[in-house]
Structure 1
Amino acid sequence: MPKLLSFTAALSAFLTVATMSKASAGFNCADQSSLANDAKRLVCTDHRLSTLNSREDTQFVSLRTRLIPEAQLTIVRDRVNFVRTRNTCGADKRCLEATYNAQLRLYARLNTCFTKRIDQSTCTSTTTEKHRQSLHKSL
């Protein structure tokens, strides 16, 4: 049984790290190759969007480091969806602002997983699922 738990923990950690590179919302505006789409170009040239991008990245990293591996995997997967949604906005500033603000609201709700002292994995998956459903209704 201990070997199974060790394997599960190792697999979870590997998947988390492997998925994180795909989930990067932060990008280098000075590196032209990282500005492959209209959304990123607008974020780099608009002060408000750039600030929202920085806040989102900082809050994601802070939240991720405080979560257990299973909960980390949940928010990393959600971030992959966030990046896809953000990129579909293209050069639509309103869409980008709404997408960033929705993600920041999600992170604020996820912080309650710590303050309420409830199971992080359950709290994180439930909260991100409600967030995903809410986004689909608003699109």
Structure 2
Amino acid sequence: MLNKARAASVPVIYSTTVSPKGPAPMLPSVAPRPGEPVVATRANKFLDTSLEELLKQRNARTLVIVGAAANGAVLYSSFHANAKGFTVVVAEDGISSGPAFDTFLARYQLLNQPGFSNPGNKPLEAQRVTLSRSDLISFQ
């Protein structure tokens, strides 16, 4: 999916979580390339970062979100993105949490957030979250 986005010249923005131990290691196969911005903060990647400004500079309207904290960063950042007017697609096979139940619950919450619910998972519903497999996501 990352290669498809880059091939379509879609902006790729990374995030990392700030911790006393420093940033988590990143697999080389998915590491940022030179010039791809990285924002560092806690669970909500919009708080105290330049993420919203970076997205607006790139005229982004739809965000594809993946991450290793479905019940944290993926959830909170998706909600914040919806509140700021963005449509969100979460790649279901690109998210995880410690216990499998946490990932299951995050999927439910992503589709049923108050004010922005999409319980039928209608694709690309404005200012809502759509869940999709990464192989079904295309970029233009």
In which range does the TM-score fall when normalised by the shorter chain?
under 0.3
TM-score under structure 1 length normalisation: 0.25
Name which one, 1 or 2, has greater alpha-carbon Rg.
1
Choose between structure 1 and 2: higher strand proportion: 2
TM-score under structure 2 length normalisation: 0.25
Choose between structure 1 and 2: higher helix proportion: 1
Higher relative contact order (CA 8 A, sep 6+): 1
